[in-house]
Structure 1
């Protein structure tokens, strides 16, 4: 197995995709308040800025900026994941390996990250985060998805309420990264 190393930039801005182990579940939106509390508690202990975030039924995308000199996003994700599953009943299927390691069967072990390189890269990824519920056919308009920082962007005058047209070709690049 190759020795995988994450690329880290202290104080950097990152795009993440985090998935449930069983991709057809809806735990993230069904237990959205538990997820929000897990994020709040983690941010209190290990601060970071949430630039953009969308929670879908079985995965989420987010853009974070870490404090200057800090590159430890892995332990932040670990904390969020642990806090979230501690609130859930133990009803999921678990493999023999997960049972032996004392792991729950909720999250995929790894997550995908991308270091944001410049302003254009930043905006492409923030747009991708907000457009994702439409991509998955969950809504007809981005504004209709409740679990998204899109609504903050509208309040702050960054996006119009009816934003999201014509992004498919631009955002395909992110999918191929």
Structure 2
């Protein structure tokens, strides 16, 4: 059996103040969260499914559950979710030998609660993250989230299923 390698940056404190770009994929990249269509003017539009609305509900509850966290932007695509998560203050003991795992805890809770409400496993194991390094990096990821519905057919997660 193949050993799975963690996608997290080794020894990085994911409770550290900063911004994190996160991508979650659905189990087997099933298109269960939304559909991408066109509005009356031909612009791309997303229509959330019942499951997509469950996921959105839990995304919106994150700042209430974690007072020093905000969700700056998110998009719920048919088979994946992108979010910019801001940790507004450090969540751990400085220079701790065991860094906090705030961002992974947030994602685990989002997955767990949305799975419970949906009555099934919605998600692939793990998630992708990128630590935002500066304002330019932030702007690139923010715009990527905004443009994701328009670029759905060219998206690496695109599926006609």
Matched-pair contact (CA < 8 Å) for 1:49–1:65? yes
**What are structure 1's unaligned runs of at least 5 residues?**
91-103, 138-167, 169-177
Give the alignment partner of residue 53 of structure 2, picking from 33, 44, 58.
33
Deviation (angstroms), 1:8: 3.4
* 8 Å CA contact 1:54, 1:62 repeated in 2: yes
Structure 2 unaligned spans of 5+: 35-47, 92-100, 155-161
Identify the match of residue 131 of structure 1 among 127, 139, 147: 147
| CA deviation vs aligned residue, 1:143-177 (integer Å, no higher than 9, x gap) | xxxxxxxxxxxxxxxxxxxxxxxxx9xxxxxxxxx
- Equivalent of 1:56 in 74, 77, 95: 77
Q: Comparing both structures, which one devotes a greater share of its residues to helix? A: 1
Q: Give the CA RMSD over aligned residues.
A: 2.3
Return the alpha-carbon distance in structure 1 between the equivalents of residues 86 and 152 of structure 2.
Answer: 26
Secondary structure of 1:133's partner? coil
Report the secondary structure of 2:125's partner residue.
coil
CA distance in 2, matches of 1:60, 1:19: 7
Within 2, Cα distance between the matches of 1:107 and 1:64? Answer: 19
Of 95, 109, 112, the match for 1:79:
109
Is 1:109 matched up with 2:130?
no
1:8 pairs with one of 6, 9, 13: 13
- Specify which structure has the higher proportion of strand: 2
Deviating runs (4+, > 2 A) in structure 1? 1-9, 39-43
Greater CA deviation, 53-62 or 42-51? 42-51
Q: RCO higher in 1 or 2 (8 Å CA, sep ≥ 6)?
A: 2
Q: TM-score, normalised by structure 1?
A: 0.62
Distance 2:113 2:82 in 1: 18
Q: Distance in 1 between matches of 2:144 and 2:52?
A: 21
Return the alpha-carbon distance in structure 1 between the equivalents of residues 4 and 112 of structure 2. 27
- TM-score relative to the length of structure 2: 0.68
